[in-house]
Amino acid sequence: MARYIFITGGVVSSLGKGLMAASLAALLQARGYKVRIRKFDPYLNVDPGTMSPYQHGEVYVTDDGAETDLDLGHYERFTGVSARQSDNITSGRVYRDIIAKERRGDYLGATVQVIPHVTDAIKQFALDDQEDLDFILCEIGGTVGDIESLPFMEAIRQLRNDLEPMQTLSVHVTLVPYIAAAGELKTKPTQHSVRELASLGIKPDVLLCRAEHPIPDGERQKIANFCNVRKESVIPALDAPSIYSVPLQYHQEGLDAEVLRGFGITDAPEPDLSGWADVTDRYFNPEGEVTIGVVGKYVGLPDAYKSLNEALVHGGMANRVKVNIKWIDAEVFEGSDSDIASALEPMHGILVPGGFGERGSEGKIASVRFARTRNVPFFGICLGMQMACVESAREAGFDKASSTEFGETGEPVVGIISEWMSEEGIQQREEGGDLGGTMRLGAYEAKLSANSHTSRIYDGATTISERHRHRYEVNAAYIEPLERQGLVFSGMSPDGLLPEIVERPDHPWFVGVQFHPELKSRPFDPHPLFAGFISAALEQSRLV
Ligand code: GLN
């Protein structure tokens, strides 16, 4: 029987509920329990796939091709459990399914209402698709009191009655602000937030109180008294020096022990936290450092490249070095070559990440050229790989080489794919079709050429599986001229039609991949491409 932990947030948004859920799950896992984490997003988009990264941060893609909230990335990185389509739901998806059923006549003449139809659908989502699990953590997006989240709160309230008495637990994340003028921590916002939650019929069992200053015992007792919980259930959650120290920090504050006590579990095994100790040791005690320039479009908002940022950190952990990331706006490179040189010369590695649209593309191509001609380690991901191919094509004499994503071009080195094979069979798309959920999404295999640089990076593997999220592909018609120019296509789709990986044997480290390896990197298991790239950057740092 799986136990449910419902995680809500109060007072303000951005308290790091996702990280908290991931950390709690990691601690339970360290005690030997099987966990899964789910995210309930109250907004009306069917999924975040069409939202701007500036609005919503990165779109995280699962193996089974769901475009999901970036919190699912935290969940995977902290627990190693691969998320699935069934781990993220939005109000938009619930309503879309209900309205489709209504149109089909499935409700047999009934009036379709928020209660019970919407709440039943949410409850079903929480209960569905679970294997033999010990704990399912359900994080509710937004802040208690939001109009949009009401059906989710109601569904939790009902579930707590539907399930066994000791089968569910409510964790509420709040803020205990410090008012400098008064020199005091304030508990009132937490009290109000808990009252709001209680008015929806949910009594929290554990309060996780985010604070910038230590919460004295007296204040903890006060929160406990006013909020109707035990003092031990008021867990201080002070700002952490790194996200990777959060699980150990919460453990020290007693979070996992208190959650288990809430379920009446008193004989839980002690957690094995050696993996986390190793990760924090590698993070806090590096033996060197490298600087990586990431030339992209959404550089003003680090959340837009969340997984990429973490994967670079993991690559650093693998090599025991600190990775300084310099976020560089590709658009500033559309000017002169001397600007490019002065910005990129201090870099030990250059990475052009995934992206959409023409803006900044010439700057990205110029960065590829800089990395190629100056022998600086280069890593191109998705759009970055496409731009590497365009750069080589221009070098090969195709002056007009471009991607059809940026408009009509005489040399479509990158073009839209209208047909490809997936596990479900042939997929077809046409120009001008819907944007939502129609890309090549999720895990696809690639065959690697034996003895290629990339196959060595993957430990000699000849077949790999990586996650995709793109609409355009490098045009196979250009493979021959590009290979003559020195670019090797060392990874292809199993049917041999779609280029997956390019590399340059004439360069110290030059790899472009059509997929997103950053989505599968974990602190305990850094992705080999990132570990390899950072190792090459370390070599480069010794040269300059
Ligand atoms: N815009 C490109 C495409 O759709 C690349 C996408 C990406 O980088 N994720 O193919």
Tens-digit pLDDT profile for residues 403-426? 999 998 888 999 887 665 666 666
Q: Is the CB of 354 under 6 A from ligand 1?
A: yes
Q: What is the pLDDT of residues 448-503, one digit of tens each?
A: 999 899 999 999 999 999 999 999 999 999 999 999 999 999 999 998 989 999 99
CA distance 303 to 312: 14
CA of 317 to the centre of ligand 1 (A): 28
What is the three-state SS of 358-406? CCCHHHHHHHHHHHHHHCCCEEEECHHHHHHHHHHHHHCCCCCEEEHHH
The SS3 call for residue 311 is helix
Alpha helices in 33-170, H assignment, sequence order: 53-56, 71-79, 91-104, 119-127, 150-162
Determine whether 516 is an active site residue.
Answer: yes
192 is a catalytic site residue:
no
Above 90 in pLDDT, residue 130? no
Burial class of residue 436 in the structure, from the number of CB atoms within 10 Å of its CB (0-12 exposed, 13-18 middle, 19+ buried):
middle
Residue 288 · residue 295 · CB < 8 Å: no
Residues composing the chain? 544
Measure the CA–CA gap between 474 and 499, rounded to whole angstroms. Answer: 6
Using CA atoms, how far apart are residues 474 and 11, in angstroms rounded to an integer? 48
Q: CB neighbours of 528 closer than 8 A, spacing ≥ 6?
A: 457, 458, 459
Which ligand 1 atom sits closest to the C-alpha of 353?
A: 8
pLDDT at 94 over 70: yes
pLDDT tens for each residue of 490-524: 999 998 989 999 999 999 999 999 999 999 999 99
Query: What pLDDT is recorded for position 488?
Result: 96
**In the 8-state DSSP scheme, what is residue 203?**
-
123 CB near ligand 1 (under 6 Å) = no
Name the closest-CA residue to atom 1, ligand 1.
356
Residues 299 and 302: their CA atoms lie apart, in Å, by 6
Distance set, CA 405 to CA 383, 387, 432, 477 (Å): 10, 12, 12, 17
pLDDT at 129: 76
Determine whether 468 is an active site residue: no
pLDDT: which is higher, 540 or 50: 540
Q: How does DSSP classify residue 244?
A: G
